[in-house]
């Protein structure tokens, strides 16, 4: 029965409109003995779980209000990536929607009673629903409109269009990122990608906070990907970004870190062009100066204005975390002028991860803490990429 219901759901989803997906998932839930099901997606800033608009003709799984991620059962399911149960009238299950290792929201399921069989079916339904939603999101405005609470600037729209999913990973590694201000981001951007047994990373910060800054970051990411897919080395990637920026945007400069992590050996290689040095977190502490290297000039000056770029190397230990950030993170100031600072940044991440918190949740809470430190309004873009190397069969250290 389960196989038939899921096969029907997947088959019907191929030609369904994005608006019809909620109804298809609800119908599948009913066929599996549940009362109703409703999809909620996390908003851009990961503060709310927003219900997908109900499909025409949906029954009990229809209209609902956005739910705060903080302080709710639904939010706890999202934050911990675990199934949660609540009783407000009907018995309600909240199941995380996860695509690969990227959490996108939760599935709400109601039922008369809970059995092991129903729970198993609900978890599988949530997994299939997540894949369908992600598959539809690339060619519809519905999901973007659902997850946005206000319009974006043109610069932010351009940067977000170039960004990969915030989280990716395998049993060997997890890479996750956050960036703010989400609706006005201008010069910051990140990239991460898996190829064979390597993870490629890039974090860039363009000068300024306007449309040209967003264009500068977009050119850098596009060039980085083009060079990477042509088997470029780290220094070759940085040199090509430098040349393209000088050619197309001669009045703009950009700092950046470009890195590769060998997932089998833990060997980390990186090039740093005028950017804050990455941080190595081992256990609950920063390893002092572990990833610091002689400073190199920002990109955009052109090959005739710099020394030869150098790639640096370090050996990670299982369980190590590498944190790459832009200066808007540590230079965020409180109302009294106090800097957020590098030590506070690393301490927060180390404490969160040592308590068992998933890396994406640690960064979600961290970026909100930085925003609160700055009373909700950052003067500069703030981007953080966190990589965990966990080379064990089950992905645990």
Query: So what's the pLDDT on residue 60?
Result: 57
Averaged in consecutive runs of 10 residues, what is the pLDDT profile of the chain (397 residues)? Answer: 95 95 96 96 97 76 84 97 89 97 97 95 98 92 93 92 95 95 90 96 92 93 96 95 94 96 98 95 89 91 82 97 89 71 80 85 90 73 94 60
Structurally, the chain folds into a number of domains equal to: 2
R_g of the chain, CA atoms, integer Å: 22
Is 330 found in the same domain as 187? yes
Q: Cβ contacts of residue 116 below 8 Å, gap of 6+?
A: none
Please report whether residue 275 resides in a domain: yes
Residue-range definition of the domain harbouring residue 259: 154-389
User: Based on the domain organization, do 135 and 244 belong to the same domain?
Assistant: no
Q: Is residue 394 part of a domain?
A: no
Q: Is 356 left (phi over 0), alpha (psi -120 to 50) or beta?
A: left
Is 395 part of a structural domain of the chain?
no
Do residues 95 and 236 share a domain? Answer: no
pLDDT of 378: 75
What are the backbone dihedrals phi and psi of residue 273, each rounded to the nearest 5 degrees, phi first? -115, 85
Residues 128 and 163 in one domain: no
Are residue 189 and residue 329 in the same domain, yes or no? yes
The answer to whether residue 283 is domain-embedded is yes
Q: Which two tokens stand for residue 267?
A: 């060997």
Q: Which residues contact 21 (CB under 8 A, 6 or more apart)?
A: 13, 39, 52, 55, 129, 132, 133, 136
- Would you say 369 and 351 are in contact if contact means Cβ atoms under 8 Å apart? no
Q: Which of 147, 180, 213 is the last residue of a domain?
A: 147
Query: What CATH number is given to the structural domain containing 124?
Result: 3.30.450.40
User: Which residue among 122, 147, 172 closes a domain?
Assistant: 147
- The CATH number for 326's domain is 3.60.40.10
The helix, strand and coil proportions of the chain, stated in percent and rounded to the nearest 5, come to 35, 25, 40
User: Does one domain contain both 92 and 215?
Assistant: no
Q: Examine the domain organization and report whether 186 and 73 are in the same domain.
A: no
Q: What is the pLDDT of residue 81?
A: 96
Alpha carbons 19 and 41: distance in angstroms, whole number: 14
Regarding whether 200 and 79 lie in a shared domain, the answer is: no
- Close Cβ partners of 165 (under 8 Å, ≥ 6 residues apart): 99, 100, 102
pLDDT computed for residue 392 by the predictor:
76
- Reduced to 3 states (helix: H, G, I; strand: E, B; else coil), residue 50 is strand
pLDDT at 397: 42
Question: Residue 68 belongs to what H/E stretch?
Answer: strand 67-68
Which of 95, 122, 147 finishes a domain?
Answer: 147
49, 74 in Cβ contact below 8 A? yes
Asked if 116 and 233 sit in the same domain, the reply is no
- 80 plus 160 within the same structural domain: no
Say if residue 112 is in the same domain as residue 185. no
Q: Does 396 fall in a domain?
A: no
- The answer to whether residue 137 sits within a structural domain is yes
Q: Are residues 190 and 299 in the same domain?
A: yes
Inside any domain, residue 397: no
């Amino acid at each position: 029965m389960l196989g038939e219901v899921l096969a029907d759901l997947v088959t019907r989803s191929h030609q369904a409109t994005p608006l019809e997906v909620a109804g298809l998932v609800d119908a599948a839930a009913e066929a599996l003995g549940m009362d109703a099901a409703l999809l909620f997606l996390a908003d851009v800033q990961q503060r709310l779980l927003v219900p997908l608009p109900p499909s025409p003709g949906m029954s009990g799984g229809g209209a609902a209000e956005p739910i705060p991620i903080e302080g709710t059962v639904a939010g706890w399911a999202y934050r911990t990536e675990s199934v949660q149960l609540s009783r407000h009238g009907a018995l309600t299950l909240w199941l995380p929607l996860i695509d690969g290792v990227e959490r996108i929201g939760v599935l709400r399921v109601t039922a008369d009673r809970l059995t092991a069989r129903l729970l198993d079916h609900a978890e599988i339904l949530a997994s299939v629903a997540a894949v369908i939603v992600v598959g539809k999101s690339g060619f519809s405005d519905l999901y973007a409109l659902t997850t946005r609470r206000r319009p974006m600037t043109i610069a932010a729209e351009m940067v977000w269009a170039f960004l990969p999913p915030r989280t990716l990973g395998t049993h060997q590694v997890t890479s996750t990122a956050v960036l703010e201000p989400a609706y006005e981001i201008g010069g910051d951007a990140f990239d991460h990608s898996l190829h064979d047994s390597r993870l490629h990373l890039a974090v860039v910060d363009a000068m300024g906070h306007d449309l040209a800054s967003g264009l500068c970051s977009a050119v850098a990411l596009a060039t980085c990907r083009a060079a990477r897919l042509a088997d470029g080395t780290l220094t070759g990637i940085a040199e090509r970004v430098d040349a393209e920026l000088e050619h197309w945007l001669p009045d703009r400069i950009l700092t950046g870190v470009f890195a590769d992590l060998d997932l089998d050996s833990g060997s980390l290689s990186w090039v740093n062009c005028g950017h804050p040095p990455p941080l190595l977190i081992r256990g609950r502490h920063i390893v002092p100066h572990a990833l610091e290297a002689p400073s190199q000039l920002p990109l955009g000056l052109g090959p005739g204005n710099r020394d030869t770029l150098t790639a640096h190397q370090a050996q990670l230990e299982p369980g190590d975390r590498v944190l790459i950030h832009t200066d808007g993170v540590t230079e965020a100031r409180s109302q009294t002028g106090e800097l957020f600072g590098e030590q506070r940044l690393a301490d927060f991440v180390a404490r969160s991860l040592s308590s068992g918190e998933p890396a994406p949740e640690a960064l979600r809470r961290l970026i909100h803490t930085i925003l609160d430190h700055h009373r909700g309004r950052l003067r500069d873009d703030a981007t953080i990429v966190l990589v965990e190397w966990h080379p064990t069969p089950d992905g645990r250290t």
